[in-house]
Structure 1
Amino acid sequence: MSETLWVLLAGFAAGGLNALGGGGTFVALPALVAAGVPPVTANASSTVALVPGAVAGAWVYRRELGPVGAVSTRALTGVSALGGGLGAGLLLMLPAASFEAAVPWLLAFATVLLACGRRVIGALSRGPGGPVALGPRAVLAAQFALAVYGGYFGGAVGIMMLALWSVGLGLDAAAGNPMRIAQVAAVYLTASALFLVASDALDTPLVLGALLTGAVAGGFGGAHLARRLPARVLRAVVLTTAVTMTVLYFVRG
């Protein structure tokens, strides 16, 4: 019961963080591992639990979606869905020990992206060469690679998408945010579908249900809180959580 309550609270925090600006993975994954769930199953469960919030966000922004350069919304979403499924398949097929060894470094990589991603995006897009002007095929290929990463782990994948579109196409980060939310939802949705069928996520229904319930409640509360807090405060909360969880994971390992 104490473990279930811990996972419920972690789900609430993860859903709230995602609503505030991202970073739910940094709470959900370590919490499940601490509750005794194997890392691969924990990663699958956290993805499944965070799907409702991602899909809800995509639905809210559905009228603001538009092409990314010369790539249509449908084409980009299709590539994201395929890549997310492949990434989830790789997570399930590769040795669990490989993922366990990679998790601290994946968390650290995602934390650095969260901390520096926006500055790097701005610096590169304002550089002397300007945007790289990628063609549609290059954009789709890069999006597919990011989607595979998103299905395998997913930390800060949205920031990576914004970086791709900003540097490769000159798309403003604020204008690309609705599409970022939609593409992350597509990645998570197909990955979750595979996780529900082929992973051990459903072997711990109480834990998964607690995480899912907490994430939905946290997302609802976080969305309301996000409207009242300054952007700098929101970002500080997300980064503090990411850094703390990453350090704890290294210490634990």
Structure 2
Amino acid sequence: MTVTDSVLLFVAGFLAGLVNAVAGGGTFLTFGALSLAGLPPIAANATSSIAQFPGYVTSTLAYAKDIRRYWQGALPLLVVSVIGSLLGALILLALDNPSFKRLVPWLLLAATALFAAGPWLRPKPTGGAGAEGGRQRYLSPLTQFVASIYGGFFGAGMGIMMLATLGLTEGGDYHRLNALKNTLALVIAAVAIVVFALGDVVGWVQVAVMVPAAALGGYAGVWGAKRVPQTAVRVFVIAIGLLLTAYYFAAA
């Protein structure tokens, strides 16, 4: 690995940690940087998952006060996240690199479109906890299960997807949803990392360069998320998603 590759990976790791803490989508950056550094698609994806893990940890810790208020209610989502991530990671290892590469731009496009449509798809508040509340209790774990399969399989846009689905099924403002998203992303990433490490598809030298950068970016991102207007955060994430989707379509 050259010095240029090392600088590229460090910068991408920091920016990915920052973006993941704000709204998700950091895997767009790490996967792209690892691909440019020469790793094949499946190894780039697996390495990206591990490199970003410290960022998930630090951004989750930065939301510790928020998490303590709701963690018991989030237990069903944590359980389905473990199961879904395990399934998604195993599906990835069953594919070859050319097959996976053809899927990448479509996965990015779907995640970006879902996040962009989130404000219009979010259900209107209801006055009680009747039949609608019951449906939401079942819908929330179901949508999180699907999102966690995607997160274990690829991960790019996982945070974007979870913010959108949590916005549809869970109550609260942006920061509550972001804290919940960070917690679930941490669990999904941990499960996928175990599977990828056992599958021997990780570039450990690249991980060593990106890990400290992602950790710094993750903490810095939470600081920014609490001070930047939500509209600006959403526009920034959508722009990243669209630009990288176009890049991967061109490279396919």
TM range (shorter): 0.7 to 0.9
Counterpart residue number, 1:250: 249
Distance apart, 1:139 and its partner CA? 4.0
2:85–2:149: 8 Å Cα contact kept in structure 1?
yes
Distance apart, 1:211 and its partner CA? 1.9
Distance apart, 1:141 and its partner CA? 3.8
Paired residues for 1:108-147 under 5 Å? 108-121=109-122, 124-125=123-124, 131=132, 133-134=134-135, 136=137, 139-147=140-148
Paired residues for 1:48-59 under 5 Å? 48-59=50-61
What letter is aligned with 1:73? A
Query: Is 1:177 aligned to residue 175 of structure 2?
Result: no
Closer, same or farther in 2 for the Cα pair 1:160/1:112, shift >3 Å? same
Query: Is 1:11 aligned to residue 10 of structure 2?
Result: no
Paired residues for 1:99-248 under 5 Å? 99-121=100-122, 124-125=123-124, 131=132, 133-134=134-135, 136=137, 139-168=140-169, 171-174=171-174, 175-201=176-202, 204-248=203-247
- Higher alpha-carbon deviation: 20-29 or 214-223: 214-223
Closer, same or farther in 2 for the Cα pair 1:140/1:20, shift >3 Å? closer
2:56–2:218: 8 Å Cα contact kept in structure 1?
no
SS in 1 for 2:39: coil
- How many angstroms apart in 2 are the aligned matches of 1:228 and 1:138? 31
Tell me, which stretches of 5 or more residues in structure 1 are unaligned?
none
Over residues 206-226 of structure 1, what are the superposed CA-to-partner deviations in whole Å (9 max), with x where a residue is unaligned?
Answer: 212112222122223333444
Distance apart, 1:191 and its partner CA? 0.7
Distance apart, 1:159 and its partner CA? 4.2
Closer, same or farther in 2 for the Cα pair 1:158/1:173, shift >3 Å? farther
Please give the root-mean-square deviation of Cα atoms over the aligned residues, in Å: 2.7
- How many angstroms apart in 1 are the aligned matches of 2:34 and 2:102? 16
Structure 1 length as normaliser, TM-score? 0.83
SS in 2 for 1:134: helix
What letter is aligned with 1:241? I
Counterpart residue number, 1:81: 82
What letter is aligned with 2:233? L
- How many angstroms apart in 2 are the aligned matches of 1:98 and 1:237? 30
Alignment length (residue pairs): 244
Query: Is 1:92 aligned to residue 67 of structure 2?
Result: no
Over residues 132-158 of structure 1, what are the superposed CA-to-partner deviations in whole Å (9 max), with x where a residue is unaligned?
Answer: 742755543443222111100123334
Closer, same or farther in 2 for the Cα pair 1:213/1:190, shift >3 Å? same
Q: 1:23 aligns with which of 25, 28, 32?
A: 25
Distance apart, 1:236 and its partner CA? 3.0
- How many angstroms apart in 1 are the aligned matches of 2:232 and 2:168? 27
SS in 2 for 1:180: helix
- How many angstroms apart in 2 are the aligned matches of 1:155 and 1:79? 19
1:58–1:182: 8 Å Cα contact kept in structure 2?
yes
- How many angstroms apart in 2 are the aligned matches of 1:177 and 1:93? 32
Percent identity for Structure 1 against Structure 2: 32
1:125–1:131: 8 Å Cα contact kept in structure 2?
no
1:110–1:156: 8 Å Cα contact kept in structure 2?
yes
Tell me, which stretches of 5 or more residues in structure 2 are unaligned?
none
- How many angstroms apart in 2 are the aligned matches of 1:167 and 1:18? 20
Distance apart, 1:59 and its partner CA? 3.0
Distance apart, 1:67 and its partner CA? 5.9
